A = this chain, B = another copy of it.
Amino acid sequence: MVRVGIINVTGYAGAELARLLHVHPEARLSAVSGRSAAGKPLAEVFPHLACHDLTIGEEVGDVDFVFSALPHAASAEALAPLVRAGVPVVDISADFRLRDPQEYAQWYGVEHPAPELLPQAAYGLTELNREAVRSSRLIANPGCYPTSALLALAPAVKEGIISPEVIVDSKSGISGAGRSLGLTYHFAEADESVSAYGLAGHRHLPEIVQELAAMWPRAGATEPPRPKVTFTPHLIPMSRGILSTCYAPLAAGKVSSGEETREVYREFYKGEPFVRVVDSPPATKQVSGSNMCLVYPTVDPRTERLVVVSVIDNLVKGAAGQAIQNMNAMLGLPETAGLEAPAVYP
């Protein structure tokens, strides 16, 4: 059994890791940390985690594998000594996602605490980057919005179906904002309401652009175009789930119908246990609590645009589930280990 530690178990991503690890056949959660709650039983902070007979500590101590669910900057600081000591880690924070430390500084407002580790980090969107994940000891777990957008767009980009004028309109449940308090997340304010935010630039935008740019096909020796992406996240009155609706103009002469496009997508994701191309628009509830991503690509023939709808559970495929999927890939375990439970529906 792999002895696993979670740094900062007291947020939603940390708690979700603990939930999922309880049914992992090859891993055992053996230590959890969290500064504000250190000394408390895990069951006191999260009654649903009483199954783990653990006390929250200051540190995770000697374990075989570490997940960090710390906020950015704090996460890289905490992980750097572990990485140097050879402990395999998955970082759920944003610290190792952007390859350029200057872009990181610009979007996150702090100097990167460990830029020298960036070259070792693999971007852990497992389906799109499996080989790099398998051979790395430091995984940057993708953001929840980028996961939903990139899985929706990757086949279209890689197969040359679209031009690089992309709009990603995302709808997220409120757990995406984390467990800290804010008037926006007060039930009476958020319930029965929907709103847009981050219109001046959300931190997940550069991550989406970086990954889309990296996968854009080159035409001969010329540099591929840098995709022009507008990304608008919205707050939805639900606890979990992200639905992303992605729009891009069709490139000439590739596909002309939704069915044709779904065929391309099905081929692209063939054999993937956690991505399913569906024949009608999916709902976030169909993946709630599970590591699945459902993708529905179609074509608007009136405007010759590709429209792709994808759904994930932001805390599972968008955070803790994908982190475990990455751990599995890193350790040579079956990628589905511990992640086989279907969605909780309804």
- State the oligomeric state as a number of copies: 4
Residues of chain B within 8 A (CB-CB) of A282 are: 47, 195
User: When chains A and B are docked, how far (Å) is the Cα of A258 from the Cα of B196?
Assistant: 15
Segment of A69-77, A226-234, A327-335 engaged in the interface with chain B: A226-234
Complex partner residue of A181 from B186, B292, B345, CB under 8 angstroms: B186
Contact A22 B192 (CB under 8 A): no
CB < 8 Å neighbour of A238 from B15, B237, B303 = B237
Which B residues lie within 8 Å of A192 (CB)? 173, 191-192, 238-241, 284-285, 288
Interface size on A, residues (CB 8 A): 86
Q: Which residues from B are CB-within-8-Å of A237?
A: 187, 191, 236-238
Nearest B residue (CB) for A232: B245
Q: Is the CB of B243 within 8 A of A196?
A: yes
**Of A89-97, A123-131, A336-344, which stretch is located at the interface?**
A336-344
Q: In the complex, A281→B236 CA distance in Å?
A: 14
19 A–B contacts, CB within 8 A, in A order: A19-B343, A22-B341, A22-B342, A47-B294, A48-B344, A169-B169, A174-B188, A175-B188, A181-B181, A187-B190, A188-B239, A189-B346, A195-B282, A196-B245, A199-B298, A200-B298, A201-B302, A228-B302, A234-B245
